[in-house]
Structure 1
């Protein structure tokens, strides 16, 4: 049941996103579009409640409950960014908005972008770990919480990998081809005839 609900929540996320943006840009109903987009967090609440009810009814905690916590964490941390990204592309495609700029490619702006991305992933992992810990406490000593702890370990890996990636852009920033400087050969200064 939990896996099916995760799939339903994911599909509903994209349906609400498409519906909200369509109302906003195609139907010229920005308030209605915003109202639909504001329903997105309800999906996580429903999934969280269903997972808690499943555990309360005596279900043995397993990988499905861990996956639900991870899904909620990632949706909470990444949802706003995804909506903003989709909004920019939708506005450009259907409402004559400016072309969304991609992430910076070089130098300090790229490093900042990588740390912002890592920050979102780390936030997602921390939220997931907190939800998993809440589930572990909720189940108590009576249940087998090994699968939930395994998911916590995986979230530590997500944090570590993102720190390594962002750190690599700090230590070895991506440079523009050619060093960003002019390719012309410098000319020696002209000698005075005096």
Structure 2
């Protein structure tokens, strides 16, 4: 992103955060950086998720960096959660260049934990609780994000790594690749150690996963 674009986004972030108060976090990610582990270039009310300028990406950003950015769609009013369990209502808007390629992300995360608690209390009086799909977690450490993605890959397969056969491991590695996990520095070594495979085997499994 150009410096002028970042400055404008910073002004917009300040305005939105001021309008909606301390529960509203606004984050700007630069997708053009050569260091995807440090994609946040502007943030307001970072205490909501515990992040700051220079921190790493969320899963949404990793997937954006890994995908064809011309095909990415904005996501509005979906639920995420922080590491300490607070519920956020989030919107993700992609900023694009003249060719339609995503060059940045403008994200709004509003802490609705108190509202959700009140909703659940009222729901307890007026009717049965409604099951909800688990919200993805926002992290500020790429190491924590990688750990999350590895755990999700294991849940996807449905068995611990020690009991996985070749096909199971390829399925898990396909999920990690599609999620952008291998954009994280030194992720390959951690994945190899976790699944008990060599770097050569990892590359072989990646090739098979991509060809399917």
TM-score by length of 2: 0.27
Higher relative contact order (CA 8 A, sep 6+): 1
The structure with the largest helix share of the pair is 1
Structure showing greater radius of gyration is: 1
